[in-house]
Structure 1
Amino acid sequence: MVLSVLFVAIVAVPLYPELYGLDEVTPFAQLVAFRPQGLVLVFALALLMLIRKGWRIAAGLVAVLALIGAGLTLPRVTSDPKPAAADTRVLTIMVANVLGGGANAGAVAELIREHKPDLVSLPEAQVDVREEIRAQLVGYAGYTEQPTRAVESATSVLIAASLGAVQVKADLPTSFGNLMVTGGNLGQLRLVAYHGFPPLPEDVPPWKHDLTQLRRWCAQDPPTIVAGDFNATLDHADFRWAMASNCHSVAPSVGGGFKGTWPSDQPPVARTQIDHVLATRTIQPLRFATHEIEGTDHLAVIATVAVPKE
């Protein structure tokens, strides 16, 4: 019994590193991004352990561990979308990490023409890439923020003319560029195009710093939508902390919480969801879909939300 409990405690470390204070430590900060897949593997391990009579106590405990995790994550795919409430207006937001210009600009433009998003967040799009996409569209203005020479630090937005005379500016200081869109026909609503630093083994502190800035957007009063490549999943405790109680992610709110967006060159079961559209609680999630784009390792995201009319 003692050995079984000890074994389960060890198995739980990569699945729930936040319980051990290890969620910001390499390699656990990276492994936990794939917790749903880990739960499946752990449950399969429990079934295999049943073969050996002396391992059955440990097998039962491991199975319970996996089932508890499944119970906590399944709501991401069981939440049903609801029709837009009365006295709301519908907005469509698109996110496409273009991999520093590696993505096929024509494919990105075609997706925009097909779905007509009000705002397009383009992580890793420098001015030339943004303009290559915009040149193939009608009725979109483009803006870019690039705080360093690094290509990945560039974040661009394309804004539909239907939003009116908006103002665009860089807001809170983050490792990569971010752009806040306000005014025009948005009223009190703020739209933020965001790209968070990745939790690379040597770069967990800047990743955590960027999520701290995200928390500030979620905690402030104006209704806010933040869209981009967050390099974080719902299984990261820091990401959940950043959303606090005032932001929710559109995907799990409408049953799309297991639609992985990266890496796109892997089978769907081997992907994780790091591209998100977040919204403060007064904004109602409606739909969430992913789309393949040639030349990038991310799937594009298109989300629809209902915003209360003012």
Structure 2
Amino acid sequence: MPSVAESSAEPNTERIARCHRHGPLEPCRRRLTGWGDAVRVVRGGLWLLTLVVLAWAAVRVAGVLPPWPGVAVLALTPWSVLAAAVTCVLALLARAVWGGLVAAVAMLALVAMVFPRVWGSGEERAGHQLRVMTVNLRLGEADAADVVRQVDAGRVDVLALQEYTAAAQQRLARAGLDRRLPHHVTDPEPYAAGSALYSRFPLSGERTPTGIGGFVQASATVTLPGGDRIALRSVHPCSPYTADHQSCWSRGIAAEPAATPHGVRRVLLGDFNATLDHPPLRRLIGTGYRDAADVTGSGLRPTWPDDPFPAVTLDHVLADRRLAVHAYQVRRVAGTDHRAVLATLIVT
């Protein structure tokens, strides 16, 4: 890769001679040599960044799951588009043309993977609307009154809760959740293991199975006015926050019930600890679900943490393909680092 000095039309010896006419020779030589070294270091750093974004794009396009901590980095894939764009521009400014072109190829590949999530729109169909919401309560510490306010504001029919504790159960009851959503299946547990489903409509087949990661996942079938039945689960696999937990995370997602082309339609909603860039979640969706955020063009709206960065989409509503997705919202809830996810489904 030619340096800036080499790419100039003026030979280096002539540059030194021209510099010498205005001062001693040795300081000129050191100054020009130092500038060339600095340019080489900058270009080397840009090539390193280029290789990083190229590897990122290759992993995402290939659909492979990298070992930890790559699985955590993969969650930031939407941000990698910006990283690739900045690398491309800087490389071109530094006249590292090949590096800039390679970064541009990586950026285009990442754009192809990420940006379809903003192209959808709500679907219009005739049928009964089912409004669902999911909230991770953050060890049961979320503001119960704010949760109930969100239920009222969204006219929620079914509420899925994760990290549901006994203290949270009592606060939610005092805030009036049981009066609004009188049918429920709950299993309050210490720390982050508890789970619950609350419903405006009758529930049957209530269960609270424990997932591979040790978290309870409240499950039931809701019967809607008119007799339609929808199977529901409050999903919460373990988080891949260490190398030891990556296996239980991927196996936990794989163990979630697959969608079926016939029979009772199913909705999975909750904190999946995974984004649409993680292969285990994409494989689960591929069984016959659709991600509500993706369908409505909101697939890049972050749900965790409730801070500007890093911001990723870990909370999802996965709906059977036989259900229409009419609307999708993300709302802040006081006291938790997860944002609530609301989706309006149409049962035809």
Shorter-chain TM-score bucket reads 0.7 to 0.9
Aligned: 1:307 with 2:342? no
1:168 alignment counterpart: 206
Helix, strand or coil: the match of 1:57?
helix
Tell me which of 72, 81, 90 is aligned to 2:113.
72
1:156 alignment counterpart: 196
Higher mean C-alpha deviation, range 128-137 or range 275-284: 128-137
- Residues 96, 299 of structure 1: 8 Å contact kept: yes
Deviation at 1:7, TM superposition (A): 7.6
Aligned: 1:241 with 2:286? no
Deviation at 1:199, TM superposition (A): 1.1
Higher mean C-alpha deviation, range 251-260 or range 216-225: 216-225
2:146 alignment counterpart: 107
* Counterpart code for 2:102: L
Change (3 A) 1:26 1:248: same
Tell me which of 111, 116, 125 is aligned to 2:155.
116
Aligned equivalents of 1:42 and 1:78: distance in 2? 21
- Residues 163, 193 of structure 2: 8 Å contact kept: yes
Change (3 A) 1:296 1:189: same
Aligned equivalents of 2:207 and 2:131: distance in 1? 21
Tell me which of 133, 143, 147 is aligned to 1:94.
133
- Residues 89, 306 of structure 1: 8 Å contact kept: yes
Change (3 A) 1:211 1:46: same
Aligned equivalents of 2:187 and 2:97: distance in 1? 57
Helix, strand or coil: the match of 1:99?
coil
Aligned: 1:184 with 2:226? no
Change (3 A) 1:104 1:26: same
Aligned equivalents of 1:165 and 1:104: distance in 2? 26
Deviation at 1:140, TM superposition (A): 1.9
TM-score (normalised: structure 2): 0.78
- Residues 187, 218 of structure 2: 8 Å contact kept: yes
Aligned: 1:205 with 2:244? no
C-alpha RMSD of the superposition: 2.5
Helix, strand or coil: the match of 2:110?
helix
In terms of Rg, which structure is larger?
2
Structure 2: which 5+ residue stretches go unaligned? 2-43
Deviation at 1:114, TM superposition (A): 1.9
Give the paired residue count: 297
Tell me which of 63, 69, 81 is aligned to 2:104.
63
Aligned equivalents of 1:283 and 1:184: distance in 2? 15
Spell out the pairing of 1:264-283 with structure 2 (5 A cutoff): 264=306, 266-267=307-308, 270-283=310-323
Change (3 A) 1:127 1:15: farther
Aligned equivalents of 2:211 and 2:53: distance in 1? 38
Aligned equivalents of 1:35 and 1:173: distance in 2? 27
Comparing both chains, which one has the higher relative contact order based on Cα–Cα distances under 8 Å and sequence gaps of 6 or more?
1
- Residues 275, 301 of structure 1: 8 Å contact kept: yes
Deviation at 1:300, TM superposition (A): 0.8
Q: Identity over aligned residues, as a percent?
A: 22
Helix, strand or coil: the match of 1:287?
strand
Tell me which of 13, 19, 32 is aligned to 2:74.
32
Structure 1: which 5+ residue stretches go unaligned? none
Aligned equivalents of 1:6 and 1:144: distance in 2? 51
Change (3 A) 1:159 1:131: farther
Deviation at 1:198, TM superposition (A): 0.7
Deviation at 1:280, TM superposition (A): 1.2
